[in-house]
């Protein structure tokens, strides 16, 4: 067996996948507008979150609305089957489909007077 394979810790690989869940999101508004096609509602971004009513929210770059949740938030809520299904959808499609322009459409910026955080 290859020495590099033996020294690679499988837990570190899983840890990296879990950390990346912070950058994967589902937009519930896009999900509803696209006949529940999760591939059109999932996006990957490292853009700064906005502050809405004191809570950091990721704005959807497709529709500009704030009705989003990260895969990590879903996992923390105990919605493992939802996360599993969304991750399966991500694996079925090319990653470029989910890497949407990080500048959200303007309609969401006016909602509740949000400000950027983490820039």
- 8 Å CB contact between 95 and 45: no
Q: Which of 117, 119, 118 is nearest to 53 (CA)?
A: 117
- 8 Å CB contact between 58 and 49: yes
What is the pTM for the complete model shown? 0.70
Instruction: Give the pLDDT of the chain (119 residues) as one tens digit per residue.
Output: 444 444 555 555 454 444 488 899 999 999 999 999 999 999 999 888 988 898 889 999 999 999 999 999 999 999 999 999 999 999 998 888 888 776 555 544 444 444 544 44
Going from the C-alpha of 117 to that of each of 42, 47, 95, 114, the distances in angstroms are: 22, 10, 26, 9
């Amino acid at each position: 067996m290859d020495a590099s394979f033996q020294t690679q810790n499988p837990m570190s690989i899983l840890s990296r996948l879990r950390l990346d869940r912070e950058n994967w999101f589902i937009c519930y508004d896009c999900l509803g507008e696209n006949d529940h096609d999760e591939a059109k509602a999932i996006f990957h971004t490292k853009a700064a979150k906005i502050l809405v009513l004191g809570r950091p929210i990721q704005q959807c770059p497709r529709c500009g609305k704030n009705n989003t949740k990260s895969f990590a938030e879903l996992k923390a809520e105990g919605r493992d089957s939802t996360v599993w299904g969304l991750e399966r959808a991500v694996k079925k499609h090319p990653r470029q489909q989910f890497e949407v322009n990080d500048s959200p459409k303007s309609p969401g910026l006016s909602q509740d007077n949000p400000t950027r955080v983490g820039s």
